[in-house]
Chains A and B, each alone.
Chain A
């Protein structure tokens, strides 16, 4: 992985959701530029919904999970290229 590629990892284990609710579009798509503090997904752990935010500015290169997939703590969920 080159220096300007970074990942957003799961802060805790649970279920990965790409959308704020089932009727709404995903938070982010591949190719989209995101800013620090922007929400990129939700990880539900034990019925608690946790919004996950990016810490650095970047462009989404890959989304490593499907909506509603199980996710382990520290598992990479997004790959981004730093801007």
Chain B
């Protein structure tokens, strides 16, 4: 087992990783920017290394500086959290070259899963249903027209280097197609340094449902069931839950098998997620692989009782996992609300600044992952996610009631947050019924205005 792990991240996820390390008797090293000198992750870790200015590029994205910090502190492994360098193949490679264990999949796997065209092809070859569309990259407008002719509008143009909602455009008719391809290609080169585009049929009213997978070096795979993540705004998830109210056991089993099948074909090692779109007729399509621990992983932990970070560390250190599919059960219901420092009454504008009052909810089945404390100054330089409120209960109605109660208790004064917005979602008739496809927020906001 590792003696010391460097946590290459900040905020609530850095704390999350440090907590498990402490429970495993592993020493921790935090890294921090100029803007994070007073952050909780710096205080919780055994050691802390300053790595640069407030600019992410010069600190949390600075591969050289982080590798140097790991070496200087004698860290044997690095946990990347999510975001920043978590899915960066060059960072995983730099760790490998410096004999530092990257807690996540290999650089080779990151390259593969980062190329959406390649991962879709692999899924298709493994017999997993994929969204109908072009086979591989589109090289010219005529080819695009041919693809569309076979399936009809609307279609979605996607960048192979994109993912997570980035680099996507919806096209409704032939007249738009050529222009959109041109714009999308320019943007793909600028944003992802990869000009490849592909076309997919636009799935109507889809549910976004993902499966948590663990894989080890001996080729063993287990799934930890699904997360329903359909409640999104501009492709950013706001509420997640497990189980999904949309799946029955038969479909759940089928999708879990498909998810394991995709990961096996990729040769994926460590924790990862397979995302699917599920249409109104309950047909599912592979969407992408997320090669990291995800923001919403706690809902899986709450229903399975398994500490995912602990499993990640064991797989990275020992090469094989200690749990078996028979040990994994989906027990009860968990819901997570993302607490963002944003003003929901003013177009979700960022709201950084001083936390003047903080009251954390408690009681049975309530978990709060946050880096906030009273008189903490939320810096304006990073993501607006400042906390996650997760509840567990025996069934969905009880989980919703508990979430409502916990949101009422939660007080963050001094900055605006998404707490009141979540309270309204918990009261929404469609949400209560479980009618939550990816257009939920659009309809929800329209109904209010």
Contacts and interface: CB of A to CB of B under 8 A. Distances in A.
Interface of A: 12-15, 21, 44-48, 68, 70, 73
Contacts of A45: 350, 352, 380
Contacts of B350: 12, 14, 45-46, 48
A70 B350 CA distance: 15
Nearest to B54: A70
B295 interface: no
A44 B379 CA distance: 12
A73 B384 CA distance: 16
B408 interface: no
Contacts of A15: 54-55, 380-381
Interface in B1-60: 35, 54-55
B393 interface: no
Interface in B340-397: 341-342, 349-350, 352-353, 380-384
Contacts of B55: 15, 68
A46 B353 contact: no
A21 B353 CA distance: 26
Nearest to A15: B381
A14 to B, nearest CB: 4
A46 B382 contact: yes
Contacts of A14: 350, 352, 380-381
A47 to B, nearest CB: 6
Nearest to A13: B380
Among B35, B350, B382, the most chain A Cβ lie within 10 Å of the Cβ of B350
B383 A70 contact: no
Given A14-B381, A46-B382, 9 more contacts: A12-B380, A14-B350, A15-B54, A15-B380, A15-B381, A46-B350, A46-B381, A48-B349, A68-B55
A47 B419 CA distance: 20
Closest 5 CB pairs of A and B: A46-B350, A13-B380, A46-B384, A45-B350, A14-B380
A70 B352 contact: no
Nearest to A10: B380
A47 B383 contact: yes
16 contacts: A12-B349, A12-B350, A12-B352, A12-B380, A14-B350, A14-B380, A21-B190, A44-B381, A45-B352, A46-B341, A46-B350, A46-B352, A47-B384, A48-B350, A68-B55, A70-B381
Contacts of A73: 353
Contacts of A48: 349-350
Nearest to B83: A47
Interface of B: 35, 54-55, 190, 341-342, 349-350, 352-353, 380-384
Contacts of B341: 46
B383 A13 contact: no
A38 B255 CA distance: 52
Contacts of B342: 46
Nearest to B348: A48
A13 B54 contact: no
Nearest to A12: B350
A26 to B, nearest CB: 18
A73 B381 CA distance: 13
A46 B383 contact: yes
A48 B349 CA distance: 8
Nearest to A71: B380
Nearest to A14: B380
Contacts of A47: 382-384
A70 B35 contact: yes
Contacts of B54: 15, 70
Contacts of B381: 14-15, 44, 46, 70
Nearest to B350: A46
B35 to A, nearest CB: 7
A47 B340 CA distance: 13
Contacts of B349: 12, 48
Nearest to B340: A46
Contacts of A21: 190
Nearest to B342: A46
Nearest to A73: B353
A16 B126 CA distance: 48
A48 B190 CA distance: 18
A17 to B, nearest CB: 11
Nearest to B378: A46
Nearest to A21: B190
Contacts of B380: 12-15, 45-46, 70
A48 to B, nearest CB: 5
Contacts of A13: 352-353, 380
